[in-house]
Amino acid sequence: MIIDSKGKLFGKVSIIDILILLVLAVGIAGVWAKFFKSGSVTPIAAKSETYIVGLYWEESPEFAVNAVKIGDIARDFDRGAILGKVTDIKIADSISFVKTDDGRVVAGSTPGYVSYHITLEATGVPSDIGGVIFDGMDYQIGKQMTVKVGSAIFMGRIDRLEKKG
């Protein structure tokens, strides 16, 4: 008999033990699929190329942007993908829009904040939907994200994405 009077399979393993092991295996498979499976597929035959990536934001904390140095590595903080190495930084007054009492919208600047243009050099593969795949993730112009550059974290938007040369 396969299951004995005590509910053990072949007299050694309980059915409950088997169910617990099965639930654990399914849980481990789910965690693996969530954290180790890439969100975008890089074509096998695709050739890596060098790209110039521009990041821009109208209003970021001045201390965070000032912490960025040429040569720092920029990455998408939420997705973990490396976007490239900083080759240029341009900082200007922040740009914020406010509505006046008479209904007009005017541009102003917030103390302690700056706008920035950061240029990156990156290695990527063209994607089939018009973007570029960096570190297994697909990016297009206009992509807004939290960016970690060196030791600083702030918001950024891709405003330039072109092949170098």
Closest CA to 130 of 142, 121, 119, 117: 142
CA 3 to CA 106: how far, in whole Å?
A: 79
Q: What is the pLDDT of residue 15?
A: 72
Would you say 115 and 91 are in contact if contact means Cβ atoms under 8 Å apart?
A: yes
Task: Give the CA distances from residue 129 to residues 115, 132, 139, in Å, rounded to whole numbers and listed in that order.
Answer: 30, 9, 10
pLDDT, position 116? 96
pLDDT by residue for the chain (165 residues), tens only, comes to: 566 677 666 667 777 778 888 899 999 988 887 776 655 555 555 688 999 999 999 999 999 999 999 999 999 999 999 999 999 999 999 999 889 999 999 999 999 999 999 999 999 999 888 899 999 899 999 999 999 999 999 999 999 999 987
Q: What is the pLDDT of residue 31?
A: 84
Which residues, at least 6 apart from 114, have a Cβ–Cβ distance to it below 8 Å? 59, 60, 62, 65, 91, 92, 93, 94
